[in-house]
Amino acid sequence: IISSHLLLECLQDDLPLPVLSNNNRAIFNAAMTGIVLSTSNLSIEERGNISNIALFMGARVTNSYTASVTHLITDTANTQKYLLAVKRGDTILRPQWIYDCWEQKKLLQPKEEHTISSPDPKVSKPTPIDLDTHQHQPSIAKSPDIIKDEGFLPLSSCIISVSGYSSQQRQIIKALVSKLGGSYSIPLASQVTHFICENPQRKKFKQAQQLGIPFLVSGKWLQSCAEQN
């Protein structure tokens, strides 16, 4: 379904008609064409509303925070998606921006009320490895069974890889990452968002630096995420 408003817009500006995808069968205007949007820490109802409006305006919507994402829609800085968006320099806006764009049928320049100025101090930020005082002994000791399940998944859209842990410790980390909503990757690839390593002298640590992995962290960071959850 393509709205009459959009048909007239394409006719007047001599633009091609937008291509409808499988998950976007109706477009009412093309204001968000080229935008790839992801949401974080919104209620199921609001996430659905935001996704539908964005699709109606020609945007693409994805649950995973991939390299193609251009805009993150969230009302809080308490998520790993937020930290990754800040690291990448992506646009971070509140849901109200989507509603205002829809109401005015155009892509609006974000106002102050649409932005999130600073991270919440409660956010568990990744702790970089201290190259001088790092601990060689892995610090993961918690079992995933003790983590509280309150619906908040702090590692949502995070891809975790590790180095320097025993097979048993890797299994605990893998279960912990899964419990917190993340994905565990055995190979160290460019898609990895967080690399956990206790010894920066390891060859794999150097590889992570060369690949440009956004966050090089110690096991204490993962523990902190679990404790705050």
pLDDT digits (tens, 9 = 90+) for 184-221: 888 888 888 889 988 888 888 888 888 888 888 888 88
Residues 6 or more apart from 178 whose CB is under 8 A from it? Answer: 144, 184
Q: Which residues pair with 197 in a beta bridge?
A: 163
Both tokens of residue 218? 């110690």
Whole-angstrom distance, CA of residue 27 vs CA of residue 21: 10
Residues 6 or more apart from 152 whose CB is under 8 A from it? Answer: 41, 78, 229
CB-CB contact of 154 with 180 (8 Å) = yes
92 falls in which pLDDT band (50, 70, 90)?
very high
Tens-digit pLDDT profile for residues 81-90: 887 888 788 8
H helix count then E strand count, the chain? 7, 8
Superfamily classification of domain 144-228 = BRCT domain (3.40.50.10190)
Residue 124, pLDDT > 50, answer no
- Residue 114 confidence (pLDDT): 92
DSSP-H helix ranges across 17-149: 44-56, 80-88, 95-104
Tens-digit pLDDT profile for residues 9-68: 554 555 555 555 555 555 667 778 889 999 988 888 999 999 988 888 888 888 878 788
DSSP state of 108: P
Question: When comparing pLDDT for 39 and 143, which is higher?
Answer: 39
* Identical topology for domains 4-114 and 144-228: yes
Superfamily classification of domain 4-114 = BRCT domain (3.40.50.10190)
Question: When comparing pLDDT for 175 and 64, which is higher?
Answer: 175
Question: When comparing pLDDT for 58 and 110, which is higher?
Answer: 110
Domain ranges of the chain: 4-114, 144-228
Tell me the pTM: 0.50
